[in-house]
A and B are shown apart, each in its own frame.
Chain A
Amino acid sequence: MDESNATCGKRLASIGLENTEANRQAYRELLVTTPGLGDYISGAILFEETLYQSTLAGKKFVDCLKEAGIAPGIKVDKGLVPLAGSNDESWCQGLDGLAARSAEYYKQGARFAKWRTVVSIPNGPSRLAVVEAAWGLARYAAISQENGLVPIVEPEILLDGEHNIDRTLAVAEEVWSEVFYQLANNNVMFEGILLKPSMVTPGAECKERVTPEVVAEYTLKMLKRRVPPAVPGIMFLSGGQSEVEATLNLNAMNQSPNPWHVSFSYARALQNTVLKTWGGNPEKVKAAQTALLIRAKANSLAQLGKYSAEGESEEAKKGMFVANYTY
C-alpha cells in the first residue's frame, strides 16, 4: 500500500475521488483497520506520508499495524528518472540522505524498506541499465541494513512487450545474477533481505499465453538458478496481473517445498476490488474490508499451495495491466 501521492491519486480518481490528503488518509485507514488482517498479512509497505498518519480517532497507523501483528515497512526510493546514454531506459533515485532517512523511519516504527527499480525488455535491456539497477539496489540494501531495516530488493522486469516467456527467463537470469553479485560486493547479509521479483511470464502483448503451471515452472527455474538458500523469502509483485491470476500463479509455485518462502507482495492485485467496493462511501467501508480479507486469505492459502479459484468474482479476474506503468 505504498503508492506515492501521485499514484494514489490515480487509484482515487478511478472511483471518482479527489486526490487530497484526507481521502488518502481515509483509504489507508480502511486498509489498516481491517479486523483480522494480521491473520493473512505479515507486513505492509507504506509511503512516507502514511508512516506519519493516524486514524481519524488519533491512533497512529503504525500502531494499528503493529497491534494486528503486521510489520510496518517504508518505501524509500524516490522514483524513476531517465537514464542518460541508455536506450530510453530508467534508473531509480533515492540514495541521497538515505541513511539519515532510514534512521528516522526506524524511529517512527518501520522495520523494513522497499526500493523498486525497473528493467524494460523492449528497450534492451542495455547492460548499463542492468548494472545501474543492481548497483542502486545493492547500495540501498547495505544502507538499510546498517540502519536496522530489512531491505526488500525489487528489480521489476516490466510486463510491457511482445516477448515470449523464454526471453523473460533469459533477462531475469541476467538481472538477478547482477543483483546478487552487487549485493555480495556491498557486503549485504542475505539472511536479512527479502526479494520482490516479477514472475517469469510472457510479455503483456505476447500472443503466446501460458498457464499458471508454466509460469510457476519458469519462475521456480529462474529462482533456483539465481537465489542462494540464505535468502529467507521471496514475495512476488503482481505487476498488472488480475487478482485471480496473481493468486493462481502463486499457488502453482507452492505445490512442493522450496528452499525459500515463496509468497506475495501485491498492491493492485490486493486492492482492486476493495477500491471499487468502497467507492469513497463511508457506509461501504465494512464491505470493502471484507473484500480485502477475501483477497488476503486467498493469497495466504496460495502461499501454502492450497488455493482454489472456485467462487471468485468476475471483478477479481479482470487484468490490470497498464502499459509503461509508473507509480
Chain B
Amino acid sequence: MENVEDNRQALRELLFTAPDCLQYLSGVILFEETLYQQASNGKSFVEVLKEGGVIPGIKVDKGTVDLAGTDEETTTQGLDGLGARCDQYYRMGCRFAKWRAVLKIGENLPSPLAIQENAYGLARYASICQQSGLVPIVEPEILVDGEHDIEKCAAITEVVLAACYKALSDHHVLLEGTLLKPNMVTPGSKAPKVSPEVIAKYTVRTLQRTVPPAVPGIMFLSGGQSEEEATLNLNAMNQLDTKKPWTLSFSFGRALQASTLKIWSGKKANVAAAQANFLARCKANSDATLGKYAGDAKGAGADESLHVANYKY
C-alpha cells in the first residue's frame, strides 16, 4: 500500500474501531498526524479512544541522529520547543507522551557517551512533560541486533537503566508519574534462542536491580520479536514468583499489528477479519499481563519474526 495520509488514516481507523478491542488497552501512543485525524464518521480519533476508556498518548521525539565521534551511535532529538508542544498536546486530549532513545550492543558499544547522552535526553524530556501535565514513557531501547548472549544483554541493560534512573533523579523527575518502556532481556538477533522462562528470569532480575518501586508500570517494547514470542515472554514474567513491585505489561507496536496488517492488506472486505485478529492479540497480551495466557491466540503470521536490522521508526 502507498504511504499516503488516507491509508494511514484507514489503518488507524481499523485498529481503533475494532469491536471489543479497546477494553484490553489502557493507552494508545499516537503520532502527531493521528492526533488531528478523524474516523470516517467524523469523530476524532481522540474521542473514539476516550469513549473506549483508552488514554491517548503522543510520540514527541523527532527521531534519531548520528552522534559524531562514535561508531554509528545515535542520540534522539526533540527538546526544542517541547514544552510548548506538550501544552498543545495536552489541550488536544493527550495525557502521556513517549520518547524513544536507541542504543546498540557491539564491540565497546554502547559507549559511555551514548549512554549518558541518551539518558540525559530522556530525563530532560521527562521533566518537560511533567511540567505540562503529561506522564512521560521513558524508553531506552537497546536494539536486539547482534550475536551477543542473554548475559551480555542483561549486563548492558543494567548499566543503561542505572544511568537513566540517575539522570531522572538529577532532573527531579517524579518517578511515581512515569512509566518505563524497556527492551526485554533476550539473546541477540543472531544468537541461539532461549525459552520464555529464561527471558522472564533475566528480564525481571535486571529490573529488580535497577527500577525503584516508585515506578508504577513497566510496559515492554517488542523490538522485533514475533507477536506470539512477545506475548509468551510477557506471560512468563507475570508467572514468576519473585519480587515485582511494578506492573509488567505491554506497549507493542509491531507485535500487536503485524498479522492484522497482513490480513487487511488495504482491502475493505478484509477489515472484519483483520479486526478479529487484532482483538485476539489484544486479549492475548491482556491475559499475559495476568500470567494467564493459554497460548491459544495464534493465527497466521503470529510466529513470524518482525525483526528489521537497525530499526528506525
| Interface residues in chain A, defined as those with a beta carbon under 8 Å from any beta carbon in chain B | 173-174, 177-178, 180-181, 184-185, 190-191, 221, 223-230, 259
* A177 and B243 contact, Cβ closer than 8 Å, known pairs A227-B212, A259-B213: no
The answer to whether B169 and A228 touch across the interface, beta carbons within 8 angstroms, is no
B67 → A minimal CB distance (Å): 21
B159 contacts A by Cβ under 8 Å: yes
Please report the C-alpha to C-alpha distance between residue A201 and residue B26 in the assembled complex, in whole angstroms.
38
Closest to A184 in B: B162
- Chain A interface, DSSP helix/strand/loop, else mixed: helix
Please report the C-alpha to C-alpha distance between residue A227 and residue B169 in the assembled complex, in whole angstroms.
12
The answer to whether A224 and B209 touch across the interface, beta carbons within 8 angstroms, is no
* A229 and B169 contact, Cβ closer than 8 Å, known pairs A184-B158, A224-B213, A224-B214: no
Closest to B158 in A: A184
Residues of B242-258 contacting chain A, CB below 8 A: 243-245
11 A-B contacts (beta carbon < 8 Å): A177-B166, A177-B170, A181-B162, A181-B163, A181-B165, A191-B209, A224-B214, A228-B211, A228-B212, A229-B211, A229-B245
B97 → A minimal CB distance (Å): 21
Contacts of A228 on B, CB cut-off 8 Å? 208-212
Q: Mark B68-108, 1 if CB is under 8 A from A, else 0.
A: 00000000000000000000000000000000000000000
B63 → A minimal CB distance (Å): 29
B292 → A minimal CB distance (Å): 23
How many residues of B are in contact with the other chain, CB < 8 A? Answer: 21
- Chain B interface, DSSP helix/strand/loop, else mixed: helix
* A174 and B213 contact, Cβ closer than 8 Å, known pairs A181-B162, A228-B208, A230-B205: no
B302 contacts A by Cβ under 8 Å: no
Contacts of A184 on B, CB cut-off 8 Å? 158-159, 162, 209-210
The answer to whether B208 and A229 touch across the interface, beta carbons within 8 angstroms, is yes
Contacts of A226 on B, CB cut-off 8 Å? 169, 212
Indicate which residue in B162, B170, B208, B212 contacts A225 across the interface (CB closer than 8 Å).
B212
B175 contacts A by Cβ under 8 Å: yes
A261 → B minimal CB distance (Å): 11
The answer to whether A229 and B213 touch across the interface, beta carbons within 8 angstroms, is yes
Please report the C-alpha to C-alpha distance between residue A180 and residue B211 in the assembled complex, in whole angstroms.
11
Q: Mark B215-247, 1 if CB is under 8 A from A, else 0.
A: 000000000000000000000000000011100
Contacts of B205 on A, CB cut-off 8 Å? 230
* A180 and B214 contact, Cβ closer than 8 Å, known pairs A174-B169, A228-B208: no
Closest to A177 in B: B169
Contacts of A225 on B, CB cut-off 8 Å? 175-176, 212, 214
18 further contact pairs, Cβ within 8 A, besides A225-B176, A228-B211: A177-B166, A177-B170, A178-B166, A180-B162, A181-B165, A184-B158, A184-B159, A184-B162, A184-B210, A190-B209, A224-B212, A224-B213, A228-B209, A228-B210, A228-B212, A229-B211, A229-B243, A230-B209
Contacts of B245 on A, CB cut-off 8 Å? 224, 229, 259
Contacts of B243 on A, CB cut-off 8 Å? 229-230, 259
Contacts of A180 on B, CB cut-off 8 Å? 162, 165-166
The 7 closest A-B pairs by CB, nearest first: A177-B169, A184-B162, A230-B208, A224-B214, A181-B166, A225-B214, A259-B245
Please report the C-alpha to C-alpha distance between residue A93 and residue B162 in the assembled complex, in whole angstroms.
26
B214 → A minimal CB distance (Å): 4
Most buried by B among A221, A224, A226, A229: A229
The answer to whether A173 and B169 touch across the interface, beta carbons within 8 angstroms, is yes
Contacts of B163 on A, CB cut-off 8 Å? 181
Contacts of A229 on B, CB cut-off 8 Å? 208, 211, 213, 243-245
A108 → B minimal CB distance (Å): 31
A193 → B minimal CB distance (Å): 11
Most buried by B among A177, A225, A228: A228
Please report the C-alpha to C-alpha distance between residue A59 and residue B59 in the assembled complex, in whole angstroms.
68
Please report the C-alpha to C-alpha distance between residue A174 and residue B106 in the assembled complex, in whole angstroms.
33
Please report the C-alpha to C-alpha distance between residue A223 and residue B209 in the assembled complex, in whole angstroms.
14
Contacts of A181 on B, CB cut-off 8 Å? 162-163, 165-166
A195 → B minimal CB distance (Å): 13
Q: Mark B148-190, 1 if CB is under 8 A from A, else 0.
A: 0000000000110011011001100001100000000000000
Contacts of B209 on A, CB cut-off 8 Å? 184, 190-191, 228, 230
A200 → B minimal CB distance (Å): 14
* A227 and B158 contact, Cβ closer than 8 Å, known pairs A174-B169, A177-B166, A177-B170: no
Contacts of B213 on A, CB cut-off 8 Å? 223-224, 227, 229, 259
Most buried by B among A221, A226, A227, A230: A230
Please report the C-alpha to C-alpha distance between residue A180 and residue B159 in the assembled complex, in whole angstroms.
12
